[in-house]
Amino acid sequence: MASESECVAVAEPPHVHLHLHPDGTEPLAHIAVDYCPEACHHASEDGEIHVTYDDRGGARWRSRCRFLPGGAIAATIRAPAGDTAGLNYNLYLSSLEGSRDMDEIDFEFLGHDKCAVQTNFHVAGGGGREQIHVLPFDSSDGFHHYAIAWGADAIEWRIDGELIRREERVAGEPWPEKPMFLYASVWDASHINDGKWTGTYHGRDAPYICSYKDIRVPLALSLEDEEDPYKCACVGDASATTAAAADAAEELDAGDAPAAAAAAAADAAEQVDAGDSPAATAATDAAEQVGAGDVPASAAAADVVEEVDAGAVADYIVLAHRSLPDLRPVNLYGIGPRDSDQSWAPSQKGPNRRETGTMKLHHPVASQQHRGARRTRCAESERDEMPNVALLSAASPSTSSAAPRLRHVARRRPSRRSACPRSAASKLSIMAALGEDPIREWILTEGKATKITGVSSIGGGCINSAQCYKTDAGSFFVKTNGRIGPSMFEGEALGLKAMYDTNSIRVPLPYKVGSLPTGGSFIIMEFIEFGRSRGDQSALGRKLAEMHKAAKSDKGYGFYVDNTIGSTPQINTWTADWIEFYSKHRLGFQLELITQRFGDSAIYDKGQRLIENMHPLFEGAAMEPCLLHGDLWSGNISSDTNGEPVILDPACYYGHNEAEFGMSWCAGFGGEFYSSYFEVMPKQPGFEKRRDLYLLYHYLNHYNLFGTGYRSSAMSIIDDYLRMLKA
- Is residue 16 within 8 Å of 175, Cβ to Cβ? no
User: How many angstroms separate the CA atoms of 132 and 61, rounded?
Assistant: 24
Rounded to 5 degrees, φ, ψ at 144 are: -135, 155
Q: How far apart are the first and last CA of the chain?
A: 37
- For 14-38, what is the HEC assignment? CCCCCCCCCCCEEECCCEEEEECHH
Among residues 4, 45, 48, 104, which one is catalytic? 104
- Is residue 188 within 8 Å of 57, Cβ to Cβ? yes
- Is residue 165 within 8 Å of 119, Cβ to Cβ? yes
- Is residue 204 within 8 Å of 53, Cβ to Cβ? no
User: How many angstroms separate the CA atoms of 298 and 288, rounded?
Assistant: 9
User: How many angstroms separate the CA atoms of 419 and 414, rounded?
Assistant: 10
User: How many angstroms separate the CA atoms of 352 and 226, rounded?
Assistant: 14
- For 437-488, what is the HEC assignment? CHHHHHHHCCCCCCCEEEEEECCCCCCCEEEEEEEECEEEEEEEECCCCCHH
Neighbours of 602 (CB within 10 A): 11
User: How many angstroms separate the CA atoms of 359 and 225, rounded?
Assistant: 13
> DSSP states of 397-439 as a string?
PP--TTS------S-----TTTTSPPPHHHHHHHHHHH---HH
Does the active-site annotation cover 108? yes
| Sign, CA torsion 708/712/717/723 | positive
On the question of a cis peptide bond just before residue 207, with omega within 30 degrees of 0, the verdict is yes
Please provide the size of the chain in residues: 727
Among residues 108, 156, 307, 658, which one is catalytic? 108
- Is residue 496 within 8 Å of 454, Cβ to Cβ? no
Neighbours of 642 (CB within 10 A): 9
- Is residue 686 within 8 Å of 620, Cβ to Cβ? yes
Output Rg (C-alpha) for the chain, integer angstroms. Answer: 26
**DSSP letter at 123?**
B
Strands (E), 306-371: 316-317, 359-360
User: How many angstroms separate the CA atoms of 440 and 249, rounded?
Assistant: 26
User: Nearest-CA neighbor of 103 among 128, 124, 132, 117?
Assistant: 124
Neighbours of 623 (CB within 10 A): 16
The SS3 assignment for 357 reads coil
Neighbours of 722 (CB within 10 A): 16
Does the active-site annotation cover 162? no
The enclosing H or E element of 262 equals: helix 258-269
Q: Which residues are the active-site residues? A: 104, 108
